[in-house]
A and B are shown apart, each in its own frame.
Chain A
Amino acid sequence: MAITARNVTKRFGDFVALEDVSVDVPSGSLTALLGPSGGGKSTLLRIIAGLEQPDSGMVEIAGSDATRLPPQRRNVGFVFQHYAAFKHMSVYGNVAFGLEIRKRPKEEIRRKVNELLELVHLEQFAHRRPSQLSGGQRQRMALARALAVEPQVLLLDEPFGALDAQVRKELRKWLRRLHDEVHVTTVFVTHDQEEAMEVADSIVVIAGGRIEQVGTPSELYERHANDFVMSFLGPVTKLGDQLVRPHDLHLRNAPDDSTLEGTVVRVLRLGFEVRVEVVIDGVDLWVQLTREQVDGLNLEPGSVVHVQPARRGREPSVEPACIVGP
């Protein structure tokens, strides 16, 4: 294991940020700590980095106890949400910082920094100040800075949280590719389930200071441990007293023994996706359909439809299960 946290508890005053949390992060993996804000995921990351001290429990990095080590001696790379760029240094100076602290020869530093700037596509910005870079460029600089010291683990705290949606999506893909190239054990914190699913090999869902579930993205999506994980990992709606995915529901014009009758309240067209809001016995739910599916149904606010839950295990499928009855 590259990182092991054992029975970690951390309180801030009366607030319990982490309660008896244990996690293993395998070497070379790309792991996401996913959860709502205030759930403890950033605290766990900061405890791994040594920026916070746990009240109890221990942290191992690369097999040795790091619980009492200061951040300087943990050999971790840390990337902050708001970049934490050294504003008075050039991009080159930022990336070179850790190597200069380690008193590496000048020539080695120059070679290594140029190599890293190339890796993060900032070679032509080496002499700029961080203030002259865009948010995405600054975060790539921060990544190069963290990687320069060849850390045993790379920790990223909401690395794309301060960027706009377009850049965020690009950087996600880029981080995934970078990890496939560099192979350093990476843990990143996010509250965005899509980000976690897209980038990570393994996801740790944390909420309320506890771990809710650990698994690969598809394990979590298919076999969620509880309603919280289910609702956090994707859209949900309520059918009766059961949580279901809106795309696991189908609408039919004619009833059969598996359908429930409802009334259409609203049809929301979001490009390819169409959301249909339906009331069954006074309770709202919504169904996610494609444009083609809706076109065949002739849905209007006020029209009567029959909602059919998909049988679990058969989904997700590409078969046209949404075919409308006669």
Chain B
Amino acid sequence: MAKWGLRLAALVYLLFLLVLPVSLVFWRTFEHGLGAVWKQLTEPNARHAFEVTLKVAVLAVVLNTVFGVLLAVLVVRHDFPGKRLLNAFIDLPLAVSPVVVGLALILVYGKFSTFGGWLADRGIQVIFSLPGMVMATIFVSLPLVVREVAPVLEEIGIEQEQAAWTLGAGPLQTFRRVTLPAIRWALAYGVVLTLARSLGEFGAIAVVSGRLVGKTQTLTLYVEQQFQNFNVAGAYAASFVLAFIAVVILVVMNVLRPKEGEA
């Protein structure tokens, strides 16, 4: 009896929180047929929002992949003073609200701050443009690659790498031929998580982008704007795309997950 009760509770919980809202989005999107959805999605502002989202997400994923692996190697393979502090910093984005992240970036890079003003004098605009949005996205998704890769690095140990050294392989060769293949599934998982987080980011982007329609508006910002302007159909169509990408990502993650054990 208790077993069934538990299952029922879990199902009902998921039904009301997840299944019902998401399927409603899908249903409402296609209420008026595919043509209507296509029309909403090909709106110039919608298409621009896609573009911006893609740019920001790809840049953030690439940079976080490179620096995520570097940070993981640094934290696992090296000992240095301040290592625990660095470790804590890596987890900071998980604890801090994205809105605060956005505000903090404005404090440093905004036109009226010293550093931001100095950059602006040289024609570099960070806030209310792409660089700031990429930085905000990097900040909020920073821990994902590091926290996937670091435990695997820990687990595989350093002996394979040392064996490669004694066989004549330099640090880069060792990384490419020994370390990278060993962490590849964890890295892929971290990249997928980072991508999902980057596409869905709202709070930090909302503050940093200035929500300039047709300029710095991402898909999530577009959804909110359409909703507030009572263009519910546009909001649903864009939401559908975000949800659809999320589902694809979920499937990809589940394909990757069992392979973690093999690697």
Q: Which chain A residues have a beta carbon within 8 Å of chain B's beta carbons?
A: 49-51, 70-74, 76-78, 80, 82, 84-88, 97-98, 101-102, 142, 145-146, 148-149
Contact = CB atoms under 8 A, between A and B. Distances in A.
B240 to A, nearest CB: 40
Contacts of B168: 72-73, 98, 101-102, 149
B173 interface: yes
A162 to B, nearest CB: 12
B31 to A, nearest CB: 50
B160 A84 contact: yes
Interface in B136-159: 159
Interface string B153-183: 0000001101111111110010001100110
A101 B160 contact: no
B162 A51 contact: yes
Given A74-B166, A101-B169, 6 more contacts: A78-B163, A84-B163, A86-B178, A88-B182, A98-B168, A146-B166
Contacts of B177: 97
A101 B163 contact: no
Given A87-B160, A88-B182, A97 B165 contact: no
Contacts of B159: 80, 82, 84
B182 A101 contact: no
A87 B179 CA distance: 11
B162 A70 contact: no
Nearest to B263: A88
A84 B169 contact: no
Contacts of A82: 159
Contacts of B163: 78, 80, 84, 86, 142, 145
A71 B165 contact: yes
A97 B182 contact: no
Nearest to B181: A88
12 contacts: A50-B165, A50-B166, A51-B166, A72-B168, A73-B168, A78-B162, A87-B182, A88-B181, A97-B169, A101-B167, A142-B163, A145-B167
Given A84-B159, A86-B178, A88-B182, A98 B165 contact: no
Given A72-B170, A101-B173, A86 B160 contact: yes
A248 to B, nearest CB: 43
A146 B182 CA distance: 21
Nearest to B160: A84
A77 B173 CA distance: 18
Contacts of B173: 101
B167 A97 contact: yes
B167 A98 contact: yes
B166 A76 contact: yes
A117 to B, nearest CB: 16
Given A86-B178, A88-B181, A149 B167 contact: yes
B160 A72 contact: no
A72 B169 contact: yes
B163 to A, nearest CB: 4
Nearest to A98: B167
Contact of B165 (A70, A85, A142): A70
A49 B166 contact: yes
A84 B162 contact: yes
B166 to A, nearest CB: 4
A51 B158 CA distance: 11
B242 to A, nearest CB: 36
A2 B248 CA distance: 60
A142 B159 CA distance: 12
Contacts of A87: 160, 182
Nearest to A74: B166
A109 to B, nearest CB: 13
Contacts of B165: 50-51, 70-72
Contacts of B263: 88
A23 B162 CA distance: 24
B160 A77 contact: no
Nearest to A142: B163
A303 to B, nearest CB: 55
Q: List 6 A-B pairs, minimum CB-CB distance, nearest first.
A: A98-B167, A84-B159, A84-B163, A78-B166, A88-B181, A71-B165
B74 to A, nearest CB: 20
A71 B162 contact: yes
Nearest to A46: B162
A97 B164 contact: yes
